[in-house]
Copies of this chain bind each other. A is one copy, B any other.
Amino acid sequence: MARVLLIEDDPSVRDALTLALKGRDHEVESAASGEDGLERLARFAADVVVLDLMLPGIDGFEVCRRIRAASSTSIVMLSARGDDFDVVGGLEAGADDYVVKPVRPQVLEARIRAVLRRTDGVPSPVETYGALCVDRASLTVSRGGRQVALPPIELRLLLYLSASPGQVFSRQQLLESVWEHDYLGDSRLVDACVQRLRAKIEDVPAEPRYVQTVRGFGYRFGPV
């Protein structure tokens, strides 16, 4: 149903919630600390982050702020009973909802659903390829949950290539389709654009995973 990243240091709570959410068809990834969570979020394109407030190392509020700084992923905060629970602080940090522990799994799940309903009232055609997420409605691209800003021509190129994963396109085809040029001249234009795109979406631009070179022919997207 949804991709959930659970950041919670107590192993028993973590395991219980993970099991419960998985039992309801969510994909769950979990982390035991804020640092670990932020790192995982960079790879796991979560729809929503369930975030405990009391964490070893950097605390929940700070994690929340850092997530917000980087992406618009929804955040549900978990506060343990007895924590100094500051609604204003939570709001300012940018959480979308709060749940007080002990939390029954079905309650948490209902909150997650509510948050997701709110943020994507209209389901958009989102395609995920590994850690890369391409949203064709909002024309946004994110890599590991972090939004990547792409200039128009690079975005068009990515949209075009990713619409047919695995298919090889010649430079000429791309010039005609993506650029709408008719000229038949030799041009390294496509190459340059591919480079700039790779620099933004690939983890290791030198070993491209998404936009691959097919020597002598052109480029293709994936296969991932």
Which residues of A does B touch, CB under 8 Å? 72, 104, 106-107, 110, 114, 119-124, 135, 137-140, 151-153, 155-156, 164-168, 214-217, 220, 223-224
B106 x A122 contact (CB < 8 A) = yes
Q: Pick the contact of A214 from B72, B119, B139 — CB < 8 Å?
A: B139
Residues of B within 8 A of A104 (CB): 122
A138 x B216 contact (CB < 8 A) = no
Given A107-B122, A152-B217, A223:B138 Cβ within 8 A = yes
Q: Which of A114, A123, A139, A152 has the most CB of B within 10 A?
A: A139
Q: How many angstroms from the CA of A166 to the CA of B72 in the assembled complex?
A: 12
Given A106-B122, A223-B119, A166:B138 Cβ within 8 A = yes
Given A139-B214, A152-B216, A122:B167 Cβ within 8 A = yes
Residues of B within 8 A of A120 (CB): 165-166, 223
